[in-house]
Amino acid sequence: MALIVQKYGGTSVGDADRIKAVAARVAAAHDSGNQVVVVVSAMGDSTDRLVDLAAEVSGGRHPREMDMLLTAGERISMALLAMAIRDRGVEAMSLTGSQAGILTDTSHGEAKIRDIRAIRVREGLDQGRVVIVAGFQGVSPDTKEITTLGRGGSDATAVAMAAYLGADVCEIYTDVDGVFTADPRIVPGARKLDEVSFEEMLELAAAGARVLMMRSVEFARRFNVPLHVRSSFHDGEGTWVKENTMEDAAVTGVAHDLSEVKLTVRAVPDRPGVASAVFEPLSSAGVNVDMIVQNISHEGFTDISFTVARSDADRALGLARQAAAALGAGGVSLDDAIAKVSVVGAGMRTHPGIAARMFTVLADAGINIAMISTSPIRVSCVVDAAVAEEAVRLLHDAFDPPFEPQEESI
Instruction: Name the residues that contact a second copy, by CB under 8 A.
Output: 16, 19-20, 50, 53-54, 56-60, 62, 64-66, 68-69, 71-73, 75-76, 78-80, 82-84, 86-87, 93-94, 96, 99, 120, 144
Q: How many CB atoms lie within 10 A of CB 289?
A: 17
Q: Give phi and psi for 29, each to the nearest 5.
A: -65, -40
CA atoms within 13 A on the CB side of 291: 29
Give the CA distances from residue 177 to residues 96, 215, 237, 333, in Å, rounded to whole numbers and listed in that order: 29, 21, 8, 40
Say if CB 381 and CB 341 are below 8 A apart: yes
The CB-of-81 to a second copy minimum distance in angstroms stands at 8
The CB-of-320 to a second copy minimum distance in angstroms stands at 32
**Residue 137 three-state SS:** strand
The CB-of-123 to a second copy minimum distance in angstroms stands at 11
C-beta of 23 vs 362, nearer to a second copy: 23
C-beta of 146 vs 327, nearer to a second copy: 146
C-beta of 232 vs 305, nearer to a second copy: 232
**Could you give the CA distance from residue 263 to residue 266 in angstroms, rounded to a whole number?**
10
**Amino acid found at 14:** G
The CB-of-128 to a second copy minimum distance in angstroms stands at 16
C-beta of 76 vs 292, nearer to a second copy: 76
The CB-of-53 to a second copy minimum distance in angstroms stands at 6
User: Strands 338-344 and 378-384: what pairing?
Assistant: antiparallel
Say if CB 91 and CB 127 are below 8 A apart: yes
C-beta of 82 vs 287, nearer to a second copy: 82
Percent of the chain as helix, strand, coil, to the nearest 5: 35, 30, 35
C-beta of 58 vs 224, nearer to a second copy: 58
The CB-of-145 to a second copy minimum distance in angstroms stands at 9
